[in-house]
A = this chain, B = another copy of it.
Amino acid sequence: MSARDTQRVVLHRDQAEVEFSRIVAFSDGVFAIAITLLVLALEIPPDVDIGDALRDRGAEFFAYFLSFAVVGRFWMAHHRIFGSIARFDTNLVIVNLAYLAFIALVPFTSEVLGNYSDDSTGVAIYAANLTAVSLISWTMIRYSYTRGLMREEAEEFRVRFAGAGAFVVAGVFALSIPLAFLSPTLAMISWASLFVLGDRVVDRLTGVRKPT
């Protein structure tokens, strides 16, 4: 045991649980704030015809509810990941921060999507944001499995969550970036199909069913 290892233990071992739950609570905080800030994209100035204003904002309401569902879904996944992690190291904390940086960016890209839903670039930037989130998520899971940070019970799902087949979510989001330049609508349909079919496809590809 090197001096470094000893030091590493000193401040962590007996309080690891408190610190771990602080990381989880901090992540949940960022999720909760980001999801609630989505509403700030919706704004109606005073002294306009309110009926007209609401009708004009169809795409903004769509972006609000879509992003609420997307961030909510990522939160549930994050939930499951950190429920399966038993130990953590500094790298995991840093990767988790990078992950949160892109979650916290969603209120911005969602507002862009609401204002530019017919515009290829507007849709592509939203797709790029979700690609970054799912790519870092996949990296985080792989890293946790590789470094033995996962609970032992999670081992049987290794192929399901850290295998190549699990890359499909990030892959679809990534492909929807160029797709947005062909047709913004098609890109959005590809996200919707992820919601409906994503789990089933990954289950099939990896041969292991996602635990519910």
- A-side residues, CB < 8 A to B, are 3-4, 7-8, 10-12, 15, 18-19, 22, 24-26, 28-40, 42-44, 46-47, 50-51, 54, 64-65, 68-69, 72, 75-76, 79-80, 83-84, 89-90, 93-94, 97, 100-101, 104-105, 107-108, 111-112, 115-116, 119, 121-122, 125, 153-154, 156-157, 209, 211-212
CA separation between A101 and B65, bound complex, in Å?
7
* One of B33, B37, B54, B89 near A121 (C-beta < 8 A): B54
**A212–B90 touching, CB < 8 Å:** yes
Q: With A19-B83, A50-B112, A50-B122 given, can you name 6 additional A-B contacts, CB distance below 8 Å?
A: A22-B79, A26-B32, A29-B32, A39-B107, A44-B115, A69-B101
User: Could you say how many copies of this chain the assembly holds?
Assistant: 4
Point out which of A15, A80, A83, A93 has the most chain B C-beta atoms below 10 A from its C-beta: A83
* One of B11, B34, B97, B108 near A153 (C-beta < 8 A): B11
Task: Determine the residue in chain B with the shortest Cβ distance to A21.
Answer: B18
**A83–B11 touching, CB < 8 Å:** yes
* One of B15, B29, B30, B64 near A105 (C-beta < 8 A): B64
Task: Determine the residue in chain B with the shortest Cβ distance to A209.
Answer: B7
Task: Determine the residue in chain B with the shortest Cβ distance to A45.
Answer: B115
**B38–A40 touching, CB < 8 Å:** no
**B72–A36 touching, CB < 8 Å:** no
**B104–A36 touching, CB < 8 Å:** yes
Query: Min CB distance, A132 to chain B, in Å?
Result: 11
**B212–A125 touching, CB < 8 Å:** no
**A104–B38 touching, CB < 8 Å:** yes
Task: Determine the residue in chain B with the shortest Cβ distance to A96.
Answer: B72
**A44–B112 touching, CB < 8 Å:** yes
